[in-house]
Amino acid sequence: MNNFKGKTIAVIGSGLIGRSWAMVFISAGYRVKVYDVQTGQATHAIEEISKQLKELQEAGMLRGSLSAQEQMSLISSQEDLKQTLEGAFFVQECVFEDLTAKQDIFQNLESHVGEDVILSSSTSCLLPTEVFLQVTHKKRCIVSHPVNPPYYVKLVELVPHPETDAAVMKRTYSLMKEVGQSPVRLRREIDGFALNRIQYAVIAEAWRLDGVLSVADVDLVMSEGLGMRYAFIGPMETVHLNAEGLEQYMQRYGEGMKRVLSSFGPVPDFSGEAVKKINQEMCELIPSDPQHLAARRERRDRFILGLAKLKKDQESK
């Protein structure tokens, strides 16, 4: 356990990611101040969080050892940025994915906090060298990229700026473990980080399979095939277990893998008639009206949380 338990974390931005981060932090006993540049948004976010925590508690899916009421006693909404940052040892930025907006907010944040306060961004694809360009003391800057939704999916990618102090990476990793997330440490920044590079590779090949499989069947390949396996073990362990170790697997299947990979073709354009065609197939499967989409997202989130609980139970045996 680290020395920060019970101290204050500032969450900047009160959208879905900001709310989720706040819920994660209070579930572990940290005090959280939520700030949003739009007046009233942070207050609305607190109301939404309260509603969600009560529903999670009733469903037996609340994270942490504290009750929903105890967790809500740790969170507050703020209208003033300076007051939000007062006493915070860690700042998690969650504003919309716009480079200029993020650069501006970090430049503003730096003017209100000491050099020992960690400045963390939730960006999903912007490089740390770009996000923290306007920050003077870059050694305390880091990207902590969550997977949507962070409350249910525990992976966090920790991506350093070239000047990030090793102690900042260590402290952030410790914090993420403390609050129940599963952090991975990238040794250097790379476009797309790790998760999106893997995800985009899957999406690209799924796209190239248009005309070979229906959209529904492409998704079944993942949800009823690879996804069932990868929900518990990753691709490298899968390879290792499918033979007498990874080296033997490559001796058996390496040439076949290279043959198939060489047939993948170019990166898709993701535009034009192909988008319209695939979108139409998706809309036939899942209507795109807000009610249907919201119901599917809720179903997804509860399934993920249930899967996480099952995984935890299995690992403890």
20 and 49 fall within a common domain: yes
**DSSP run (H or E) holding 186:** none
Looking at the structure, tell me whether residues 153 and 236 fall in a common domain: no
Q: Is 249 exposed, middle or buried (0-12, 13-18, 19+ CB in 10 A)?
A: middle
* Three state DSSP letters for 202-219: HHHHHHHCECCECHHHHH
How many Cβ atoms sit within 10 Å of the Cβ of residue 12?
31
- Single residue among 131, 153, 185 that ends a domain in this structure: 185
What is the token pair recorded at 211?
Answer: 């005309």
Backbone angles phi, psi at 71, to 5 degrees: -65, -40
Same domain, 214 and 175: no
The packing angle between helices 41-58 and 16-27, to 10°, is 50
- Secondary structure class of 128 (helix, strand, coil): helix
Note whether 180 and 212 are same-domain residues.
no
User: Which are the contacts of 174, defined by CB distance < 8 A and separation ≥ 6?
Assistant: 2
60, part of any domain:
yes
Do both 209 and 67 map to the same domain?
Answer: no
CATH of the domain at 115: 3.40.50.720
Question: pLDDT at position 3, please?
Answer: 52
What pLDDT is recorded for position 1?
43
Domain of 240: which CATH number? Answer: 1.10.1040.10
* Whether residues 32 and 166 fall in one domain: yes
- Residue-level pLDDT, tens digit, the chain, 317 residues: 445 566 999 999 999 999 999 999 999 999 999 999 999 999 999 999 999 999 999 988 899 999 999 999 999 999 999 999 999 999 999 999 999 999 999 999 999 999 999 999 999 999 999 999 999 999 999 999 999 888 889 999 999 999 999 999 999 999 999 999 999 999 999 999 999 999 999 999 999 999 999 999 999 999 999 999 998 899 999 999 999 999 999 999 999 999 999 999 999 999 999 999 999 999 999 988 899 899 998 888 888 888 877 877 777 76
Closest CA to 17 of 147, 200, 179: 147
Asked if 152 and 58 sit in the same domain, the reply is: yes
Closest CA to 75 of 118, 20, 116, 154: 20
**H or E, element range at 14:** none
Domain count, the chain: 2
Compute CA 187 distance to the chain's CA centroid, rounded to the nearest angstrom: 18
Q: Where are the alpha helices (DSSP H) in 8-119?
A: 16-27, 41-58, 68-72, 81-85, 99-110
Q: Specify the pLDDT at position 98.
A: 96
What pLDDT, on a 0 to 100 scale, did the predictor assign at position 267?
A: 96
> Domain range for residue 248?
194-285
Residues 55, 86, single domain; the answer is yes
Contacts of 41 (CB under 8 A, 6+ apart): 14
Instruction: Name residue 27's amino acid.
Output: S
